[in-house]
């Protein structure tokens, strides 16, 4: 007879080796957990507490004056620049992220091909991520290195202004003016796409070519479905990078409000701005997740439906077996009872 394989009970006690491996895992994860608690969760809770107060720092102590939603009301009613920058940021992010992702995918496909000096070209496209950051980026932007001198952005804005709103036309014009800087931001995305493309089995392309598929059909039927999760990853990364970049006007506004010496502004005012900005960034991330999120395949749904049917059938079989055992016990009890009456001389009549 075939021996059934014993399944290990998850509630069983761990051995010495498993406990040692578990301790090693917790040890490696501990720095990340400590960093999250100290540098993410604590400042997050602190800023959430600050946004309900008007905070003033004096030589003696820090004064907290509860204002409730006063900071939010003051931002939207007395600071018209913040809503304008929010609208500009929304349009720029929604347009820039697809540009960055598409450009990164095109460059990754070219760098994944069989070309000479492939490693050198990969290095060239990734160098801006290391070099062009922080003060270097600010210096290059101040010198005009992030824009194309031959491109007349004013005429582009005027052309779009004829059939679009002025705020949207300005957002598109700023995208064209910062085209070089947008391309600088695609180094990490190119690297992620390269790693995804290298994981695709080349036998799939060979089988497709034998069936007569062109390169364009292979891209839509093989490449794009395989790297779809990485497209979502790059889109989310691009949103977060553009939102926390030092060239973002909203980040500069929040910093200026934080270190302002006026009575109206301060840490509470800046915390309220930061939380509203964080909610908007989260909504943009959710939007890209809804657009690019992987939907369940038809075959996966059929497999899950089949598994549910098998589980239901197994439960029904167990129920019938329990009922059969229960009826067998009742029949056996009745038989034993009749046998006892026969031996004791009792009669039903």
Is residue 131 predicted with pLDDT exceeding 90? no
The total domain count for the chain is: 1
The verdict on residue 29 lying in a domain is no
pLDDT tens per residue, range 261-280: 677 788 888 899 999 999 99
Contact 244, 114 (CB under 8 A): no
Q: What is the pLDDT of residues 303-340, one digit of tens each?
A: 888 888 888 888 998 889 888 888 888 888 888 877 76
Taking alpha carbons only, the member of 243, 266, 245, 264 closest to residue 255 is 266
Examine residue 84 and state whether it is found in any structural domain, yes or no: yes
Give the 3-state secondary structure of residue 258.
helix
Each residue's pLDDT tens digit, 82-119: 888 888 888 888 888 888 898 889 888 888 888 787 77
Residues 6+ apart with CB under 8 A from 34: none
Residue 109: give its domain's CATH number. Answer: 1.10.3720.10
Spell out the alpha helix ranges (H) of the chain. 16-36, 42-50, 70-78, 81-111, 118-131, 135-142, 153-161, 166-177, 179-184, 187-198, 202-210, 215-218, 224-226, 228-243, 249-258, 267-292, 298-344
Residue pLDDT, tens place only, 11-45 = 556 778 888 888 888 999 999 999 999 888 998 99
The pTM assigned to this predicted structure is: 0.71
* Chain mean pLDDT for the chain: 81
Give me the pLDDT at residue 7, please.
Answer: 46
Residue 181 in domain: yes
Q: Is residue 269 part of a domain?
A: yes
pLDDT band per the 50, 70, 90 thresholds, residue 349: very low
Q: Is residue 267 part of a domain?
A: yes
The answer to whether residue 234 is domain-embedded is yes
Distance CA 96, CA 182 (A): 7
Positions of E strands within the chain: 53-57, 62-66
| Structural domain contains residue 32 | no
d(CA 236, CA 232): 6
296 domain residue, yes or no: yes
pLDDT for the residue 80? 84
pLDDT tier, 344 (very low <50, low <70, confident <90, very high otherwise): low
Distance of alpha carbon 258 from alpha carbon 47, whole angstroms: 11
- 120: domain range? 79-300
């Amino acid at each position: 007879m075939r021996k059934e394989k014993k399944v290990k009970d998850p509630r069983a006690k761990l051995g010495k080796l498993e406990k040692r491996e578990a301790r090693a895992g917790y040890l490696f994860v501990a720095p990340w957990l400590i960093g999250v608690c100290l540098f993410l969760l604590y400042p997050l809770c602190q800023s959430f507490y600050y946004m309900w107060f008007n905070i003033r720092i004096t030589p003696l102590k820090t004064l907290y004056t509860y204002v409730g939603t006063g900071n939010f009301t003051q931002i939207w009613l007395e600071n018209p620049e913040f809503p304008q920058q929010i609208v500009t940021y929304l349009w720029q992010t929604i347009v820039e992220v697809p540009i960055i992702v598409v450009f990164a995918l095109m460059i990754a496909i070219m760098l994944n091909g069989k070309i000479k000096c492939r490693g050198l070209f990969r290095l060239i496209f990734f160098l801006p991520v290391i070099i062009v950051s922080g003060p270097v980026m600010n210096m290059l932007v101040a010198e005009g290195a992030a824009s194309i001198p031959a491109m007349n952005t004013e005429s582009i804005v005027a052309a779009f202004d004829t059939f679009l709103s002025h705020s949207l036309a300005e957002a598109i014009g700023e995208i064209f003016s910062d085209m070089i800087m947008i391309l600088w931001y695609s180094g990490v995305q190119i690297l992620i796409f390269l790693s995804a493309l290298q994981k695709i089995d080349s036998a799939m392309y060979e089988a497709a070519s034998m069936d007569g598929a062109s390169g364009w059909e292979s891209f839509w039927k093989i490449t794009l479905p395989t790297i779809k999760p990485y497209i979502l990853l790059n889109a989310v990364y691009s949103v977060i990078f553009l939102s926390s970049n030092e060239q973002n006007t909203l980040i500069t506004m929040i910093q200026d409000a934080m270190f302002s010496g006026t009575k109206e502004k301060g840490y509470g005012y800046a915390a309220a701005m930061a939380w509203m900005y964080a909610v908007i960034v989260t909504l943009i991330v959710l939007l890209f997740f809804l657009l690019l999120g992987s939907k369940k395949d038809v075959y996966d749904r059929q497999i899950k439906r089949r598994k549910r049917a098998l589980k239901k059938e197994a439960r029904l079989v167990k129920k019938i077996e329990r009922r059969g055992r229960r009826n067998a016990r009742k029949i056996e009890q009745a038989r034993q009872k009749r046998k006892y009456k026969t031996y004791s001389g009792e009669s039903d009549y």
